[in-house]
Structure 1
Amino acid sequence: MTPSIRLRSVVLDCPDARALARFYAGFAGGTPEDADPEWVVLRLPDGPRICFQRAPGHVPPAGPVRGGGLPRLRGPERSQLAVLA
């Protein structure tokens, strides 16, 4: 049976759309389409698109807590630690 619903995009709010898209491209592949700094699209090879939407004042959610939690970093550095955790 062919699925009737297909996941096409995931949208993430972030303070710097270009920086976060480049970070994700570094380990997931693809090339960010970043003509507009407010909205960047990363097309994953054989997967959905990840869209990054600039959201001024965005506060990222708390990451996983292991052995005292994540260091207090911002932006791509914090995201990298959450992915590696």
Structure 2
Amino acid sequence: MPNIKSAVKRVRKTEEAEHRNISQKNAMRTAIKRAKTAIKTDASEKDELIRFALKKIDKAAQRNLIHSNKADRIKSSLMSTSK
């Protein structure tokens, strides 16, 4: 544990950011899984779930939680399987 006040604050802020990033990444993964299962079962709300997953993917890429190429790859696979 650091002794300097600013270092203590930096540790605290880093942990907060880490928790926030993890929860946003988990929400993105959940949205992707829900969209894929909706596509597989041909659910009625399939389009809405795909749109929501694309939004989560774009937000994660915008916040540098995932690389932009990975975001494009995930979006492409979602769109190709939805046809």
Instruction: State which structure, 1 or 2, has the greater radius of gyration over its C-alpha atoms.
Output: 2
Q: Is the pair's TM-score, using the shorter chain for normalization, greater than 0.5?
A: no
| TM-score bracket, shorter-length normalisation | under 0.3
TM-score, reference length from structure 1: 0.25
Q: TM-score under structure 2 normalisation?
A: 0.25
Greater helix proportion = 2
Larger RCO (alpha carbons 8 Å, 6+ apart): 1
